Every structure is written in structure tokens, then in C-alpha cells.
């Protein structure tokens, strides 16, 4: 039987956005570690970041639990003109030195003399901005402000939060998606090159603190809508608080997490979160799911 023309159009519209074959989806691939370095129980005098090259142009940093129990992740995304640093960590660290070293290695490998550093934040909480002052002191560096207005004007938002803005790093565009709810300045970043979706503290294997329930629910729906039909290689948040045992987390403040959950989540987790929020119908309640917990708070 001949396939009717309109069916062909429908199929090609879907095929254009998603991968027709299990061939990697056309994104630049990378590798995540099987396990991250475990902090503690004894802490070295000089705690450090674990630096992991996802691929040649995307580097993940994880802060040691020995410098701060939050153990946040930071991300460096390299374009040809700019490198984007997402977040600056918690507590007192040598983050600017570590970032400078990674950038110097990249420049040497690529035969470049310099690259502009843009420092943005997944959101404005203290465990992701503590290194800002150090980074502001670096040359060729712009540190985006923390208030929602500063984020909006830097990325050129006219219709926050109902707008997605592209940000060009030079032959590499990332999409900036407003996701207020955990915090008013919260953004997600989608890297078209790798298919990675960075979600900050809004979605990660741990306690998803919801401060503004209505905004949070709308933001998760916005992420679902944005990601529909796109290649989502991994969803990467900012922390790991979950264990590998379903429905079980490490208590707040835990440094030593020998059996922590994998860092990466997928779009299925986003759909699961959206489904749970829809079922709560406007009143967000604490609810443990297999890989994360919805956790309403009045201040955080």
C-alpha cells in the first residue's frame, strides 16, 4: 500500500527533530565517569575539584565534599569565541585557578591565544556563586549578575519566563530556558552540540527544593515542552544527594557518599517530575520518587 502523502509529511516532521536510527542522534558525544571521586571520610588538607573532560570542548568540575558538603557541579562549555562557565561553586575554593588551568589547556590544544570567559549561573543560591569574586578578577571575563533582571538583560529576554533565548559561543549555540521556582533567577541551558540539558537545582538526583510552587510547575512544563522532539543526551543538574538505592537519599550535610546515585538523568525523569506535579494539582507536597524527591520549602 502506498503511504498517503500527508502521512509522509507527518513522519518527516517528527523524523527531522528526533533520531530515526539508534546512531547517536547526531550530537557530539562525550563520556561521563562511571563513578565520581568519593569525598571523605578522611579529608585531605587541600580539597580540590574533580575535573572531568566530557569531550574535548566540554568539561565538568565537581567540588570536593571536603571543601563543601554540597559538592556542586560546575560546567565549562567551549565555543570558538567564548567559553561559558556555569556556576562558581560553594564555600572557599581555588575555583578561578582551576578554571584558568582548564582554559589554558584548551587554548594550547587549539592553538588559540585567548578566549572570552562568560560566567553565568544556573541560579543565585550561595552554593553556586561563591567563587564569583575570584572570577571577576580574571582578564577577558564577564560575570553575569545574580538578580533575575540581570540575567534577563544579559541574555536579551523580552518575555521572561515564556521565552527561550539562544546564546552564541562561536559555532556553538546554547539555549537559555527560564525555570524560576526553585529560585527566581533559575535557568536551564540546552547545549545543541552535545544534547546536554543543564537543569541546576531544579532537577537532579536529590531533593528538589520548591520555593514557588506555581512557578516551579510551569517551569517543569516549559522544560517538557522545550525538550519535546529534541535529542536529550543527559540531564545534568547540580548535586547528587540520592543513593543508588531507590527512594533513599543521603541526609543533608553528608560528605562521604560511597554509594551515590549516577549524576546523569534523562528526559524520562523530567516527564516523571512533570507527571507528579500535575497530580499534585497546584499544592506541592513532599514526595519521594525513585531517583529524586519533590520537597516544598518556604525559604531556601
Q: Which is nearer to Zn ion, 66 or 231 (CB)?
A: 66
Minimum CB distance to Zn ion, residue 55 (Å): 25
Residue number with CB closer to Zn ion (175 or 201): 201
Instruction: Choose the binding region for Zn ion from 1-9, 78-86, 149-157, 198-206 (rule: CB under 5 A).
Output: 198-206
Q: Does 201 bind Zn ion (CB under 5 A)?
A: yes
Beta carbon of residue 65, minimum distance to Zn ion (angstroms, whole number): 13
Query: Rounded to the nearest whole angstrom, what is the least distance from the CB of residue 201 to Zn ion in the complex?
Result: 4
Q: Report, in Å, the least distance between residue 187 CB and Zn ion.
A: 12
Say what angle helices 213-227 and 267-280 make with each other, to 10 degrees: 140
CB under 8 Å to 281, separation ≥6 — which residues?
none
Q: In the complex, what is the shortest distance from the CB of residue 86 to Zn ion, in angstroms, rounded to a whole number?
A: 12
For residue 164, which of 173, 193, 82, 172 has the smallest C-alpha distance?
A: 173
Q: Distance between the two ends of the chain, CA-based, in angstroms? A: 60
Rg (CA), the chain: 19
Count of C-beta atoms within a 10 Å radius of residue 192: 15
- Residues of this chain, 215-254, that bind Zn ion according to CB under 5 A: 238
For the sheet containing 207-210, what is the strand order?
207-210, 293-296, 287-288
Nearer to Zn ion, 72 or 79 (CB): 72
Q: Quote the Cα angle for 224-124-97, to 5°.
A: 110
Task: Judge contact between 65 and 89, C-beta under 8 A.
Answer: no
Pick 78 or 250: Cβ nearer Zn ion: 250
By CB under 5 A, which span of 28-36, 122-130, 145-153, 217-225 interacts with Zn ion? 122-130
> Cα separation of 162 and 239, whole Å?
26
Mapped onto helix, strand or coil, the DSSP state of residue 56 is coil
Cβ-based nearer residue to Zn ion, 62 or 82:
62
* Residue 80 DSSP one-character state: S
The smaller minimum CB distance to Zn ion, of residues 152 and 199, is found at 199
> Applying CB under 5 A, what is the total number of residues that bind Zn ion?
4
* Residues near Zn ion (CB under 5 A): 125, 127, 201, 238
Amino acid at each position: 500500500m502506498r503511504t498517503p502523502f500527508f502521512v509522509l509529511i507527518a513522519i518527516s516532521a517528527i523524523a527531522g527533530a528526533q533520531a530515526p536510527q539508534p546512531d547517536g542522534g547526531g550530537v557530539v558525544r562525550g563520556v561521563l565517569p562511571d563513578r565520581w571521586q568519593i569525598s571523605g571520610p578522611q579529608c585531605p588538607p587541600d580539597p580540590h575539584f574533580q575535573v572531568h573532560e566530557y569531550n574535548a570542548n566540554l568539561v565538568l568540575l565537581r567540588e570536593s565534599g571536603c571543601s563543601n558538603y554540597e559538592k556542586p557541579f560546575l560546567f565549562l562549555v567551549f565555543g570558538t569565541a567564548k567559553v561559558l562557565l556555569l556556576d562558581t561553586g560553594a564555600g572557599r575554593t581555588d575555583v578561578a585557578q582551576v578554571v584558568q588551568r582548564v582554559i589554558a589547556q584548551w587554548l594550547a590544544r587549539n592553538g588559540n591565544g585567548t578566549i572570552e570567559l562568560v560566567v553565568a549561573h544556573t541560579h543565585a543560591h550561595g552554593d553556586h556563586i561563591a567563587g564569583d569574586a575570584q572570577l571577576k578578577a580574571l582578564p577577558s571575563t564577564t560575570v553575569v549578575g545574580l538578580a533575575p533582571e540581570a540575567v534577563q538583560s544579559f541574555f536579551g529576554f523580552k518575555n521572561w519566563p515564556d521565552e527561550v533565548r539562544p546564546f552564541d559561543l562561536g559555532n556553538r549555540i546554547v539555549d537559555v530556558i527560564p525555570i524560576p521556582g526553585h529560585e527566581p533567577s533559575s535557568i536551564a541551558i540546552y547545549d545543541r552540540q552535545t544534547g546536554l540539558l543543564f537543569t541546576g537545582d531544579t532537577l537532579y538526583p536529590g531533593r528538589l527544593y520548591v520555593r514557588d510552587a506555581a512557578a516551579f510547575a510551569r517551569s517543569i512544563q516549559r522544560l517538557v515542552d522545550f525538550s519535546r522532539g529534541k535529542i536529550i543526551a543527559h540531564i545534568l543538574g547540580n548535586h547528587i544527594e540520592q543513593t543508588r538505592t531507590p527512594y533513599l537519599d543521603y541526609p543533608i550535610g553528608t560528605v562521604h557518599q560511597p554509594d551515590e546515585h549516577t549524576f546523569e538523568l534523562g528526559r524520562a525523569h523530567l516527564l516523571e517530575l512533570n507527571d507528579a506535579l500535575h497530580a499534585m494539582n497546584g499544592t506541592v507536597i513532599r514526595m519521594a520518587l525513585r531517583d529524586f524527591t519533590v520537597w516544598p520549602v518556604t525559604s531556601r
